[in-house]
C-alpha cells in the first residue's frame, strides 16, 4: 500500500533539510559550512527514503542502504561541527572514533546482522534493524547532532535565532530517535507531525538570511 502521508513526510523533510543546508552553506564561517554539509547529506538520505516510499522497489534493502550512506556521512560532519572548538589533537581523535563507530554501524546493519527494511500494509516504512544496530543508530544520530547544534547555536550572533534553532533542533533530534526505534504506526504518524513542526520552525527561523557567526 502506498501511503502518501509517509511520502510527504520524507519529501518535506528533504526540502526542509535542504533549505537549512543552503542557509548554513552560504555562511562565511567554516563551522557553519561544515554543519551545512551534514544537513545537505541528511536531505539526500531523506530524498532517497522518500523515493523508496513512493516507488516501493522490489529490492528495499539495497535502496535503504543507499540512504544510510549519506545519513552516516552526515553524522560525521555533525561530529566535525560539534568538535570545532576543540584542540586539533582532541578533535582528530574524536573524528577517528566517530568514523570507526559509523563504519561499524554500517558493517553491522549491512553484513553482520542485515537489516530487513519493509513497508507494511498501512504504507509505513520501517528499517527493521537489529537491536544493537538500532542502539548505534540512536547513539550516532543524537550523539552527533546535539553537540553540533550546541556549537552552532553558541556561535550564532543573534541570540533569539540561536535559542529558537536549539529548541527546534532538539525537537527534530528526539523525533528522529523515535523514527528510528518505533514500530508503531500510530506513534510514527504522530511523531512525523512533530518532526515536521520542528523543521518548519527551523525554516521560519532562518527564512530571511543565513546565520551570522560570532566567536566565543
Domains annotated on the chain, with CATH: 4-205 (1.20.1070)
Q: From the centroid of its chain, how far is CA 7?
A: 17
User: What are the φ/ψ torsions at residue 178 (nearest 5 degrees)?
Assistant: -60, -40
Q: Can you point out the beta strands (E) in the chain?
A: 118-119, 125-126
Mean residue pLDDT across the chain: 96
Residues sharing a CB contact under 8 Å with residue 119, sequence separation 6 or more, in sequence order: 1, 52, 53, 56, 60, 125, 126
C-alpha cell at 181: 526505534
Residues sharing a CB contact under 8 Å with residue 30, sequence separation 6 or more, in sequence order: 84
Residue in this structure with the C-alpha cell 553482520, named with its chain if needed: 112
What is the pLDDT, as a whole number, of residue 74? 98
CA–CA distances in Å: residue 124 to residues 56, 73, 74, 183, 189: 11, 25, 24, 9, 9
Enumerate the β-bridge partners of residue 125.
119
Express each pLDDT in 185-215 by its tens digit. Answer: 999 999 999 999 999 999 999 999 999 999 9
pLDDT at 1 over 80: no
pLDDT band with cut points at 50, 70 and 90 for residue 2: low
Helices and strands: H and E segment counts in the chain: 7, 2
Percent above pLDDT 70 for the chain: 99
Summarize the confidence of residues 66-79 as an average pLDDT. Answer: 98
User: What are the φ/ψ torsions at residue 118 (nearest 5 degrees)?
Assistant: -150, 160
How do 118-119 and 125-126 pair as beta strands?
A: antiparallel
What is the pLDDT, as a whole number, of residue 3? 82
Express each pLDDT in 6-46 by its tens digit. Answer: 999 999 999 999 999 999 999 999 999 999 999 999 999 99
For Cα atoms 168, 170, 171, give the angle at the middle one, nearest 5 degrees. Answer: 65
Express each pLDDT in 168-182 by its tens digit. Answer: 999 999 999 999 999
Express each pLDDT in 93-117 by its tens digit. Answer: 999 999 999 999 999 999 999 999 9
Amino acid at each position: 500500500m502506498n501511503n502518501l502521508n509517509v511520502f510527504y513526510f520524507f519529501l518535506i523533510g528533504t526540502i526542509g533539510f535542504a533549505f537549512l543546508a543552503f542557509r548554513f552553506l552560504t555562511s562565511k564561517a567554516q563551522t557553519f559550512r561544515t554543519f551545512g554539509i551534514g544537513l545537505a547529506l541528511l536531505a539526500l538520505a531523506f530524498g532517497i527514503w522518500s523515493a523508496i516510499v513512493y516507488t516501493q522497489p522490489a529490492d528495499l534493502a539495497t535502496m535503504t542502504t543507499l540512504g544510510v550512506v549519506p545519513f552516516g556521512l552526515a553524522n560525521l560532519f555533525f561530529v566535525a561541527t560539534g568538535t570545532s572548538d576543540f584542540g586539533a589533537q582532541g578533535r582528530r581523535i574524536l573524528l577517528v572514533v566517530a568514523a570507526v563507530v559509523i563504519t561499524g554501524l554500517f558493517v553491522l546493519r549491512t553484513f553482520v546482522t542485515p537489516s530487513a527494511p519493509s513497508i507494511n500494509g498501512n504504507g509505513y516504512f520501517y528499517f527493521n534493524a537489529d537491536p544493537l544496530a538500532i542502539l548505534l543508530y540512536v547513539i550516532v544520530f543524537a550523539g552527533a547532532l546535539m553537540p553540533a547544534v550546541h556549537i552552532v547555536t553558541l556561535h550564532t550572533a543573534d541570540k533569539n535565532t540561536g535559542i529558537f534553532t536549539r529548541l527546534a533542533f532538539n525537537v527534530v533530534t528526539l523525533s528522529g530517535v523515535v523514527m528510528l526505534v518505533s514500530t508503531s504506526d500510530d506513534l510514527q504518524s504522530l511523531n512525523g507531525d512533530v518532526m515536521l513542526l520542528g523543521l518548519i520552525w527551523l525554516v521560519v527561523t532562518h527564512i530571511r538570511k543565513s546565520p551570522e557567526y560570532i566567536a566565543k
